[in-house]
A = this chain, B = another copy of it.
Amino acid sequence: MISARLHYASLALIELALRQGKPAPVAVREISELHGIPAPFLVQILRTLRGKGWVRSVRGSQGGYRLAVDPAQLTLLEIADAVGCSESSCQTESNETVANGQLHEVWGAAVQASRDVLAETTLADIASKCSPSEAVMFYI
């Protein structure tokens, strides 16, 4: 139900959030190795994030990625929707009976419940719990 794409995208964004103050951008290879994400796959994901304007890329030697938004304004739900963790409740088209309608209401409520949880958590929330032990240490 939670796709690897979403998990990887979140990990990458957290990593970038932790290094926001730093001058140098973060290389794909570095993120890939730190979090055990297949590098070519990560590239593909970062392209999506770049399309949303959440990260900016710097090309050439010493290039990499940098976070382009306020981590406190970006929720996990937005990320999920961006990477296409298709959260449509149920796309089967049975006959339009009363039972069918009643069920769809419940399916919708269930999906909404999980979306609400994701909507309540921002990138900053998670990053703040990671600060002490993670990469932040390098820039003091």
Contacts and interface: CB of A to CB of B under 8 A. Distances in A.
Contacts of A4: 90, 92
B37 A94 contact: yes
Interface of A: 1-2, 4, 7-8, 10-11, 14-15, 34-37, 76, 86-90, 92-95, 97-100, 102-103, 106-107, 109-111, 113-118, 121, 126-127, 129-130, 133-134
B110 A118 contact: yes
A106 B94 contact: no
Given A76-B106, A102-B126, A35 B97 contact: yes
Nearest to A14: B99
Contacts of A115: 110
Contacts of A109: 117
B94 A35 contact: yes
A103 B1 contact: no
